[in-house]
Amino acid sequence: MSDLDQFVRSLKYDANGLLPCVVQDAENGDVLMVGFMNAEAVKRTLESGRTCFWSRSRKTFWVKGETSGNIQKVKELYIDCDADSIVCKVEQTGAACHEGYRSCFFRKVEKDGSVSVVLPRLQDKY
């Protein structure tokens, strides 16, 4: 068994075989999105250098940017102390959010519960 396979097997996946992956901009640390990975998606991400996720709704793999062109090149990958969460630091091309924003976290919530859009939309939804 390769070192990569051993690493992938060492991670602690939830009951559905998934773990969360926080995607950050490698340059400034902005959180761009959160996705879910199973063992194969982790392996594909490490082998290809591009983020690969498991779609919980479509029950299939998806590589960020394969249809939109808004790719994420993985610069660094970290695991947390419990080995049940991942952080991918990436070089983001274009919008990370399917709503067309650089980050999926484009809405700010105030103490009174009001919500406002705080980032510009880079492109139409994709």
User: Is 97 inside any structural domain?
Assistant: yes
User: Is 126 inside any structural domain?
Assistant: no
Residue 106 maps to which CATH number?
3.10.20.810
- Tell the residue number behind the tokens 């919980």, with chain if given: 56
User: Is 21 inside any structural domain?
Assistant: yes
Q: Minimal CA–CA distance to 72: which of 98, 41, 95?
A: 95
User: Is 123 inside any structural domain?
Assistant: no
Note whether 20 and 86 are within 8 A (CB): yes
Per-position pLDDT tens, the chain of length 126: 799 999 999 999 999 999 999 999 999 999 999 999 999 999 999 999 999 999 999 999 999 999 899 999 999 999 999 999 999 999 999 999 999 999 999 999 999 999 999 999 998 876
Predicted structure pTM score: 0.93
User: Is 122 inside any structural domain?
Assistant: no
User: Is 125 inside any structural domain?
Assistant: no
User: Is 79 inside any structural domain?
Assistant: yes
Domain containing 38: what range? 3-117
Which amino acid is it at 4?
L
66: left (phi over 0), alpha (psi -120 to 50) or beta: alpha
